[in-house]
Amino acid sequence: MKLVLVLGDQLTPSLSALRAADKTQDVVIMAEVRDEATYVRHHKKKIAFTFAAMRHFAQELQADGWNVVYSRYDDPAASESIPAALLTQAQAFKTDKVLTTQCGEHRLRSAITDTPLAIETLPDDRFISTTENFNTWADGRKQLRMEYFYRDMRRKTGLLMEGDRPEGGHWNYDKDNRKPAKRDLFFPRQLEHTPDQITETVLDLVEQHFPKHPGNLRPFLLATDRQGAERSAATFFETALPLFGDFQDAMLSGEAFLYHSVLSTYLNAGLLDARQLCDQAAAAYAAGKAPLNAVEGYIRQILGWREFVRGIYDREGPNYTARNHLSATGALPPFYWDPSATDMACVKSAVAQTLEYGYAHHIQRLMVTGTFALLAGVDPYALHEWYLAVYTDAYEWVEVPNVIGMSQFADGGVLASKPYAASGAYISRMSDYCAGCAYSVRKRRGPGACPFNPLYWDFLVRNREKLAGNPRMTQMYRTWDKMDEVSRAETLHSAAEILTKLHSGDRV
Assess whether 431 and 488 both reside in one domain.
Answer: yes
HEC sequence for 389-438: HHCCCCCHHHHHHHHHHHHCCCCCCCCCCCCCCCCHHHHHHHECHHHHCC
Query: With contact defined as beta carbons under 8 Å apart, do 310 and 137 qualify?
Result: no
Tell me the average confidence (pLDDT) per consecutive run of 10 residues in the chain, 508 residues long. Answer: 97 98 97 96 98 98 98 93 96 96 95 95 96 95 94 97 94 87 78 97 98 97 98 97 94 93 98 98 97 97 97 96 97 96 97 98 96 98 98 97 97 94 95 94 95 98 95 94 95 96 90
Answer whether residue 111 is part of any domain.
yes
Query: With contact defined as beta carbons under 8 Å apart, do 454 and 494 qualify?
Result: yes
Assess whether 63 and 87 both reside in one domain.
Answer: yes
Assess whether 178 and 59 both reside in one domain.
Answer: no
Answer whether residue 390 is part of any domain.
yes
Sheet strand arrangement including 67-71: 67-71, 27-31, 3-5, 97-101, 118-122
Query: With contact defined as beta carbons under 8 Å apart, do 3 and 86 qualify?
Result: yes
Identify the H or E element spanning 3: strand 3-5
Interacting residues of 475 by C-beta distance below 8 A, sequence separation 6+: none
> What integer pLDDT is reported at residue 436 of this predicted model?
86
Answer whether residue 476 is part of any domain.
yes
The Cα–Cα gap between 321 and 401 comes to 9
> What integer pLDDT is reported at residue 131 of this predicted model?
93
> What integer pLDDT is reported at residue 185 of this predicted model?
64
The domain total for the chain is 3
> What integer pLDDT is reported at residue 379 of this predicted model?
98
Closest CA to 235 of 251, 257, 214, 218: 257
Closest CA to 105 of 397, 401, 404: 397
> What integer pLDDT is reported at residue 180 of this predicted model?
87
The Cα–Cα gap between 439 and 137 comes to 46
> What integer pLDDT is reported at residue 184 of this predicted model?
66
The Cα–Cα gap between 36 and 55 comes to 16
Phi, psi values for residue 161, rounded to 5°: -120, 145
Query: With contact defined as beta carbons under 8 Å apart, do 296 and 172 qualify?
Result: yes
β-pairing verdict for 161-162 and 165-166: antiparallel
Interacting residues of 2 by C-beta distance below 8 A, sequence separation 6+: 21, 22, 26, 27, 95, 97, 98, 99, 120
Assess whether 247 and 358 both reside in one domain.
Answer: no
Answer whether residue 80 is part of any domain.
yes
> What integer pLDDT is reported at residue 95 of this predicted model?
96
Domain range enclosing 115: 3-122
Query: With contact defined as beta carbons under 8 Å apart, do 495 and 457 qualify?
Result: yes
> What integer pLDDT is reported at residue 340 of this predicted model?
96
Assess whether 342 and 396 both reside in one domain.
Answer: yes
> What integer pLDDT is reported at residue 183 of this predicted model?
77
Assess whether 251 and 344 both reside in one domain.
Answer: no
Query: With contact defined as beta carbons under 8 Å apart, do 454 and 492 qualify?
Result: yes
Question: Which of these three, 261, 281, 316, is where a domain ends?
Answer: 316
The CATH number assigned to the domain holding 143 equals 1.25.40.80
Sign of torsion, CA 221 225 229 234? negative
Answer whether residue 361 is part of any domain.
yes
Assess whether 82 and 148 both reside in one domain.
Answer: no
Assess whether 101 and 174 both reside in one domain.
Answer: no
The CATH number assigned to the domain holding 346 equals 1.10.579.10
> What integer pLDDT is reported at residue 181 of this predicted model?
78
Answer whether residue 323 is part of any domain.
no
Helix (H, G, I), strand (E, B) or coil at 56: helix
Distances from the Cα of 116 to the Cα of 84, 294, 318, angstroms: 11, 50, 21
Assess whether 178 and 295 both reside in one domain.
Answer: yes
Query: With contact defined as beta carbons under 8 Å apart, do 399 and 405 qualify?
Result: no
Q: What pTM did the predictor assign? A: 0.96
